[in-house]
């Protein structure tokens, strides 16, 4: 087992496959708590729907449940709420800490010559809301090695660099997209060149493309709220519900080594909406950067634009766990509006059509009830992923918890272990 403490230990020949390549299973975590008392925002409903969809397509899922009691709780909840537990669902007594396995779970690598799998594991600091030495952060960083032990994978790469899976987008042939602002914020003591060296060694990347920022509403929650003016001209201040500070899987994904899905804000949308206006600037900058780059064969990327959902928000009461256990505990900058403790606040929904799961013969994609945009997003994904079905589900409970479908899952590529 290769390990490093604050540095990386290299396993030559291993690369991170593209997410569009064949999978042997999908990894998820079963929730240990809920951020909201409203049952319509229960993340277990969305997770159960994803598990059921995977089962229908005969795709194996591995669900982390911490211990045997957790397995019983998860199975019982599924049955009690009308969701059959199928042979394709494998409930495991492996600690999960939280549900966002994309961010702190195993990063599967593959040796292209032997087909053997390895696992990469980054340090964690709870999306920048704590530090890497905190007990929860340490337990998050241990999840990849726990899964490696369960699978019998004996090559595990570790690094002291803090990075989350949702912040990195890869094409399976050595090209990696990362968010400059986010990665430097997570690692203030590191230089850009030091981070590049870590990504290349850990993930087999050969070319790093730096995008400058994520979506505006995917803010770092402790930076304070963002202003939003609705269609009636009223300005509200929207807080982020444990949002990440700019994960790239909110705005883009690779649909092939040369094909990039990239979100797009129209001129009409940004005319009156300050959030959309900033997103328009950031996404067009990302488009310009990607348009100037090429794949490993020197070909310009095919960039396919996908719409963004309308901005949505809700009023959060002080007795809600998201309020009292998270937002009210943060230290906000002096130049931010004071957090009105004891008074309701608005939180923004972290919605995105780019935050989807692609797997064997299937894309599980967001659908928000806006028929025109939902249909447009589905058509785009069907074109980008020929031969795959596109199944849309409503990820709203995940969005209001700060993530999405892609954030929830981690693919295990087909390979030997």
Its sign, for the CA torsion 113, 118, 122, 124, is positive
CA atoms in the 13 A half-sphere facing the CB of 25: 15
Q: Give the C-alpha distances (Å, rounded to integers) separating 410 from 1, 72, 87, 324, 405.
A: 22, 23, 19, 30, 10
Residue percentage of the chain with pLDDT more than 70: 97
Q: How far is CA 33 from CA 1, 7, 232, 321, in A?
A: 33, 34, 37, 10
Tokens standing for residue 97: 């800490």
Crossing angle of helices 43-56/68-80, nearest 10°?
80
Instruction: Tell me the sheet residues that pair with 390.
Output: 363
Please tell me the predicted confidence (pLDDT) of residue 352: 98
**Is pLDDT of 4 > 70?**
no
Mean pLDDT of 170-197: 97
Q: Is 289 helix (H, G, I), strand (E, B) or coil?
A: helix
Give the integer Cα–Cα distance in Å for 7 and 179. 21
Q: How many residues does the chain have?
A: 417
**What is the model's pTM?**
0.95
The pLDDT tens digits of the residues spanning 78-137 come to 999 999 999 999 999 999 999 999 999 999 999 999 999 999 999 999 999 999 999 999
User: Token pair for residue 272?
Assistant: 């009156």
Q: How confident is the model at residue 10 (pLDDT cuts 50, 70, 90)?
A: low
Whether residue 327 is predicted with pLDDT greater than 50 in this model: the reply is: yes
Average pLDDT of span 390-412: 98
3-state secondary structure of 201: helix
pLDDT in tens, 242-272: 999 999 999 999 999 999 999 999 877 667 7
Structure token pair of residue 362 = 């299937």
| pLDDT attached to residue 267 | 73
At 268 the pLDDT is 74
**pLDDT score for 274:** 87
Average pLDDT on 45-61 reads 98
- In the predicted structure, residue 386 carries a pLDDT above the cut 70: yes
- Locate 235 and state its tokens: 């300005």
- Least trusted range by pLDDT, from 1-15, 300-314, 334-348, 383-397: 1-15
Residues 6+ apart with CB under 8 A from 245: 127, 128, 181, 182, 185, 214, 218, 219, 220, 223
pLDDT at res. 273: 83
Query: Which pLDDT does position 229 carry in this prediction?
Result: 85
- Using the predicted structure, report yes or no on whether residue 324 has a pLDDT greater than 50: yes
Residue with tokens 């899952």: 409
């Amino acid at each position: 087992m290769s390990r490093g403490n604050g540095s990386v230990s290299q396993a030559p020949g291993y690369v991170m496959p593209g997410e569009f390549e064949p999978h042997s299973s999908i990894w998820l975590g079963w929730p240990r708590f809920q951020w909201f008392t409203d049952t319509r925002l229960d993340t277990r409903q969305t997770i159960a729907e994803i598990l059921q969809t995977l089962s229908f397509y005969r795709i194996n899922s591995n669900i982390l449940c911490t211990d045997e009691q957790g397995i019983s709780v998860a199975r019982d909840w599924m049955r009690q709420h009308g969701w059959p537990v199928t042979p394709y669902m494998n409930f495991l007594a492996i600690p999960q800490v939280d549900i966002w396995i994309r961010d702190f779970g195993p990063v599967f690598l593959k040796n292209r010559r032997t087909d053997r799998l390895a696992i990469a594991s980054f340090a964690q600091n709870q999306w920048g809301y704590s530090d890497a030495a905190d007990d929860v952060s340490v337990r998050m960083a241990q999840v990849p090695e726990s899964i490696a032990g369960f699978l019998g994978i004996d090559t595990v790469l570790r690094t002291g660099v803090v990075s989350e899976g949702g912040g990195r987008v890869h094409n399976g042939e050595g090209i990696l997209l990362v968010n400059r602002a986010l990665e430097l914020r997570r690692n203030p003591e590191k230089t850009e060149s030091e981070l590049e060296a870590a990504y290349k060694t850990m993930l087999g990347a050969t070319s790093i493309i730096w995008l400058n920022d994520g979506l505006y509403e995917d803010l770092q929650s402790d930076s304070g709220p963002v202003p939003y003016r609705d269609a009636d001209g009223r300005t509200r201040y929207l807080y982020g519900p444990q949002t990440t500070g700019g994960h790239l899987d909110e705005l883009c994904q690779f649909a092939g080594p040369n094909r990039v899905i990239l979100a797009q804000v129209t001129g009409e949308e940004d005319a009156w909406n300050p959030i959309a206006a900033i997103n328009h600037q950031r996404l067009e900058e990302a488009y310009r950067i990607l348009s100037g780059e090429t794949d490993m064969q020197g070909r310009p990327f095919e960039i396919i634009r996908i719409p963004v959902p309308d901005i949505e928000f809700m009023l959060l009461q002080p007795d809600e766990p998201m309020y009292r256990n998270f937002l009210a505990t943060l230290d906000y900058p002096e130049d931010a509006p004071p957090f009105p403790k004891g008074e309701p606040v608005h939180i923004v929904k972290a919605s995105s059509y780019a935050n989807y799961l692609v797997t064997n013969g299937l894309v599980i994609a967001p659908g928000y009830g806006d028929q025109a945009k939902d249909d447009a997003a589905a058509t785009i994904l069907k074109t980008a992923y020929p031969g795959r079905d596109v199944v849309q589900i409503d990820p709203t409970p995940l969005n209001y918890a700060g993530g999405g479908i892609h954030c929830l899952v981690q693919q295990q590529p087909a390979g030997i272990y």
